[in-house]
Amino acid sequence: MTAKRAGVPLVHPGPRAPERIVSVPTGVSVLHAELPPGAGVADALWELTRDAGWRGASAELAHGRFGTLRYVHPAPGVDGVRPATFSETVKPIAPNALLTGSATVGTREGRGFAHVHAAWIDAEGRLRGGHLLPETTVGDVPIQVTLRGLPSVTLVSETDPETTLPAFTPHPVAAGDGTGRRAVMSRVRPGVDLHDAVLTIAAEAGFSSAVVRASLGSLVGATLHRGPGRVGVVDWPATEVTTLVGTVRGAGSADAVAELTASLVDVTGALHTGVLVPGRNPVAVTFELYLEEADHVRTAHRS
């Protein structure tokens, strides 16, 4: 049995895959666009990706409003098999104003598919967030999107034998290099500490400095900095990260440092934000991690 507290890796029902991080290097092309009122969020993200000739993309969402909003948030497992699952569908009343969101865009069962997490202000003025369901639409204010197309990657969502839940995995394809900017798209499997994953991926890609953008997935609860010498813990068994951004400096050296800032949703649907504590945030189910090479990044040290 796994210990029921944040930061302790979950035990999943299926066979443990030997490869814990799957990465594909790629060029990247950036597209700025709007999702128009009335459009399905996931469908519109796939259409932008497909029409640009890509089979995989990472997206940042901002501003705008939702029309129909349907979402779920993490929940403890109830069948004695899965340690974590999703809540029942939440159907909030409008308006719901988008703050930030992240999406991985690719295919599932041969059709366009997008995995979307977002944070918003609801009709009661509360900060909320979660995993958007496919029926979610854009409201009367367009949603702004920064889409990073990955020409050397195809992203495929399949049911993972280890967790018995769906997950995106990157696969290499022969393609152009985009703008010449270098990036890596990765899937991080359960139990891997997120900081360790970021530093490993950057070092293996040859990125001394890098930035993390538009990355999403789940952690076993979360442990966050709460001021000098203090940390806060978000409850077990899982949180859904709606946005992960960060920096890497000195990857591949003894002085390597990664600083990661996240917004994440707990088992009640409440939103938390903060800087993640290194070594105390293992992946719960899966993490879709996008790193882009940077010429120079200054990363603050924390004690």
Contact 250, 301 (CB under 8 A): no
- Taking 50 as the pLDDT cut, the residues of the chain under it are 298-303
Burial label for 261, CB within 10 Å (0-12, 13-18, 19+), is middle
Query: What would the pLDDT profile of 127-165 be if each residue is shown by its tens digit?
Result: 999 999 999 999 999 999 999 999 999 999 999 999 999
CA neighbours closer than 13 Å in the CB half-sphere of residue 241: 32
Query: What would the pLDDT profile of 54-96 be if each residue is shown by its tens digit?
Result: 999 999 999 999 999 999 999 999 888 899 999 999 999 999 9
Each domain of the chain, given as residue ranges in start order, spans: 21-293
Contact 167, 21 (CB under 8 A): no
| Residue 248, token pair as written in the block | 């890497």
- Predicted local distance difference test score (pLDDT) of residue 180: 73
Question: Cα(181)–Cα(241) distance, rounded to whole angstroms?
Answer: 26
| Residue 110, token pair as written in the block | 């041969």
- Predicted local distance difference test score (pLDDT) of residue 229: 86
- Predicted local distance difference test score (pLDDT) of residue 303: 39
Fold for the domain defined by 21-293? 60s Ribosomal Protein L30; Chain: A; (3.30.1330)
Q: Which of 190, 191, 212 is nearest to 201 (CA)?
A: 212
- Predicted local distance difference test score (pLDDT) of residue 2: 62
- Predicted local distance difference test score (pLDDT) of residue 274: 96
- Is this model's pTM higher than 0.85 or not? yes
- Predicted local distance difference test score (pLDDT) of residue 301: 45
| Residue 182, token pair as written in the block | 């270098």
- Pure H helices in the chain: 41-51, 194-205
- Predicted local distance difference test score (pLDDT) of residue 181: 86
Question: Cα(89)–Cα(14) distance, rounded to whole angstroms?
Answer: 26
